């Protein structure tokens, strides 16, 4: 599955232009579906400031939550990569703040994750440990673990993910990320598999990667719940 090219196409929705995978099954697990807009007839007033809509006070829909607002409460256009929009789109204040925070993940953390880091990887199915480089695939759908062997973990099939912490040496600050414990179900299997990653070489690089993965997990589980 990971070797299949991910072609994309430009589509127009009521919310704006979106660049989406041609095959819906290949969409990034971080992505959110477009919301259903609150019907115009059901929102005679702004859903934030309660201003009455009329010829002068026009209504606008937030592209992230789909609710109705006046121009004052929904005037900012913010990038929304989680819905694959090509250009920044109109969002209400609360959604805009949330999207701006997430954009830091797309601007910085994604680069760290796709760059990868070195770990000692242990699979509970074999009990053997191996030095491997772990990185996020460019399509954001898989974790690739490469060493003498190769393992692919599909993010959408991860059921739990825990960042492991360790105490720093005296004077070295607070606890830092030292490893990762994840449970997933491989394609075609219903049996859970546990993968443990432990930093060994460049611990600073590994700590950055683990911190980025922790942020990725928050987005991943949020997308699953919606």
pLDDT at 82: 92
Paired tokens of 23: 């095959």
**Sequence-distant contacts of 36-44: CB under 8 A, at least 24 apart:** 36/66, 37/61, 37/66, 38/66, 38/67, 38/68, 40/68, 43/67, 43/68
- If you search the block for the tokens 């606890």, which residue do you land on? 175
Among candidates 202, 152, 129, which has minimal Cα distance to 2? 152
pLDDT tens, residue order, the chain (226 aa): 444 456 788 889 888 899 888 776 678 888 888 999 999 999 999 999 999 999 899 999 999 999 999 999 999 999 999 999 999 999 999 999 999 999 988 889 999 999 999 999 998 767 789 999 999 998 888 999 999 999 999 998 898 889 888 766 555 556 778 899 999 988 777 789 999 999 986 678 898 999 999 889 888 877 655 5
- Look at residue 44 in the predicted model and tell me its pLDDT: 96
For residue 172, the model assigns a pLDDT of 57
The pLDDT score that the predictor gives to residue 26 is 73
66-80 b/e (C-beta count within 10 Å ≥ 16 → b) = ebbbbeebbebebbb
Q: Is the pTM of this model over 0.85?
A: no
């Amino acid at each position: 599955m990971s070797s299949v090219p991910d072609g994309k196409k430009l589509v127009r929705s009521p919310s704006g232009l979106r660049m989406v995978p041609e095959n819906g099954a290949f969409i990034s697990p971080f992505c959110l579906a477009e919301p259903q807009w609150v019907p115009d007839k059901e929102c005679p007033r702004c859903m934030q400031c309660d201003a009455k809509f009329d010829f002068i006070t026009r209504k606008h829909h937030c592209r992230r939550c789909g609710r109705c607002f006046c121009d004052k409460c929904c005037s900012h256009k913010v990038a929304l990569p989680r819905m694959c929009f090509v250009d920044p789109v109109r969002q209400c204040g609360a959604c805009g703040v949330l999207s701006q925070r997430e954009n830091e993940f797309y601007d910085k953390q994604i680069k760290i994750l796709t760059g990868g880091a070195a770990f000692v990887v242990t699979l509970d199915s074999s009990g053997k440990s191996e030095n491997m480089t772990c990185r996020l695939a460019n399509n954001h759908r898989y974790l690739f673990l490469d060493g003498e062997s190769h393992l692919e973990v599909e993010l959408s099939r991860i059921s739990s993910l825990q960042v492991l912490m360790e105490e720093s040496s005296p004077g070295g600050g607070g606890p830092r990320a030292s490893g990762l414990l994840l449970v997933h179900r491989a394609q075609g299997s219903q049996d859970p598999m546990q993968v443990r990653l432990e930093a060994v070489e460049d611990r600073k690089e590994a700590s950055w990667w683990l911190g980025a993965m922790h942020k990725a997990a928050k987005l991943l589980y949020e997308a699953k719940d919606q």
